[in-house]
Amino acid sequence: MAVVVLATGHRSDGRVVGRVCAVVLTLLLAGCSAAGPAGSTSQDGSRTRSGSAKGSEAASSPYVSAAEIARSQATTAYLGMWQDMTKAGTTSDWNSPELTQHATGDALSAISRGMYADHLNGLVTKGEPKNAPTVSSATPAENPTTVTISDCGDSTQWLKYRKGNGKLADDKPGGRQAITAEVKKLNGAWKVTRFAVEAVGSC
C-alpha cells in the first residue's frame, strides 16, 4: 500500500509532524477496514474468505432422500407388525386393536384368522421372533409408496403353548423361515398389506 503525505508550510515544529502522523494512522486504519469484509491474511501470506467454515459445514451436511426415508419407514412398519403379533399372541387376542397399527388388508386378515384359530384350540404364543429384514424393491424409485421386504425370521424362541397346562403345543421346534412382505403407504401411514412365511429351514 502506497502512502502519500502532503504537508503545507515550512515549520518544522511539532504541529506539522503531528498532522503527518495523523494522516498516516488514518490511512493504515482505512486499509485494515477495507481488508476485513473480503477476508484476512494469515502469517504465511495466504488469504481466507469470510464465511468459508460455515460453507464447509453446509457442504458436508448429510442429505436423506425420499427413497431412503420410505425404505426406513416401511421396514419399521414391518417390524412393528411382528411386535404387535407377539403381544397379541400371549392371549391369542384376534380382535386386538393393536393388530391394525401396522397391518391391513390380506395381512391383517391372515393374522386375525391365525389368532382366532389359536383361541379356539386353547393355544397362546410365548417368547418373541427374531427378524432381519432387508428391502428388495421400492416403487416408484424416487418417492416409493410400495416396498417389498425379504426376511429370514427365526421362530426358535417363539412357540405355541397350551393355555390349560402351559406345555408346548407340539414337539416341532421353530427355526429360520423365509418371509416376503409387501408394505404400502396408505393415507400417509406405512402398513403391511400381505406377507408369506415359508417352512422352517427355508433360509
User: CA-based angle 191:161:93, to the nearest 5?
Assistant: 40
pLDDT digits (tens, 9 = 90+) for 127-168: 999 999 999 999 999 999 999 999 999 999 999 999 989 899
pLDDT digits (tens, 9 = 90+) for 7-56: 334 434 433 333 333 333 333 333 433 344 444 444 444 333 344 444 44
Question: What is the chain's mean pLDDT, rounded?
Answer: 79
With cell 467454515, the residue in question is: 53
**Nearby residues of 113 by Cβ (< 8 Å), 6 or more positions away:** 94
Q: What gap in Å lies between CA 25 and CA 31, rounded to an integer?
A: 10
CB 76 within 8 A of CB 190: yes
Q: What gap in Å lies between CA 75 and CA 95, rounded to an integer?
A: 24
